[in-house]
């Protein structure tokens, strides 16, 4: 026994209304999009992570990768503390104390502490899109 044409139309209409409601809710997202460039001593930061932490502790933290100096992050609106971290390979070591042990990279932080663990960077994030560039210096 098949579904009657009227019932098919009702199911299709119900599905369309549900999709419209879901799409309408998604369109009213309370997030801002922050994108921009990160340079270190005048050159694009090859790779790293940018973190947006709420100054008041009431909204989630947002992270985004930095690739070839560019980032794009979805961030809840409000005052944020920004921390930027970048790995720097300083050598290699053996995983085990055996001659056939694989080697792993020894990684340290490339950027000064004032950009990450002791960050001095802040930003007021608004709903919608905004651009923010960060020109970081080594302090030399």
pLDDT at 19 over 90: no
Kindly report which listed range (19-28, 52-61, 96-105, 124-133) carries the lowest average pLDDT score.
Answer: 19-28
| Closest C-alpha among 107, 110, 118 to residue 66 | 110
The mean predicted confidence, pLDDT, of the chain is 85
Could you give the percent of the chain with pLDDT greater than 70?
Answer: 79
| Closest C-alpha among 93, 54, 92 to residue 76 | 54
Q: What is the pLDDT of residue 140?
A: 56
**pLDDT confidence bin for 29, thresholds 50/70/90:** low
d(CA 101, CA 7): 67
State which CATH number among 2.60.40.1120, 3.40.50.300, 3.30.43.10, 3.30.70.20 fits the domain covering 30-136.
2.60.40.1120
0.75 exceeded by pTM: no
Q: What is the pLDDT of residue 25?
A: 47
Q: How far is CA 72 from CA 21, 49, 66, 82, in A?
A: 27, 11, 8, 14
d(CA 112, CA 138): 6
Q: What is the pLDDT of residue 31?
A: 86
Q: Which residue has the tokens 């008041």?
A: 56
pLDDT per position as a tens digit, 55-105: 998 889 999 999 999 999 999 999 999 999 999 989 999 999 999 999 999
């Amino acid at each position: 026994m098949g579904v009657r044409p009227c019932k098919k139309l009702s199911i299709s209409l119900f599905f369309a209304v549900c999709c419209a409601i879901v799409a309408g809710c998604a369109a009213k997202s309370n997030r801002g999009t922050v994108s921009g460039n990160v340079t270190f001593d005048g050159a694009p930061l090859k790779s790293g992570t940018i973190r947006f932490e709420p100054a008041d502790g009431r909204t989630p933290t947002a992270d985004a990768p930095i690739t070839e100096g560019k980032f794009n992050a979805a961030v809840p609106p409000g005052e944020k503390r920004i921390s930027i971290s970048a790995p720097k390979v300083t050598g290699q070591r053996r995983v085990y104390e055996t001659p056939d042990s694989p080697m792993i990279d020894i990684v340290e932080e490339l950027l000064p502490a004032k950009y990450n663990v002791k960050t001095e960077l802040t930003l007021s994030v608004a709903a919608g899109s905004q651009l923010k560039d960060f020109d970081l210096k080594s302090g030399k």
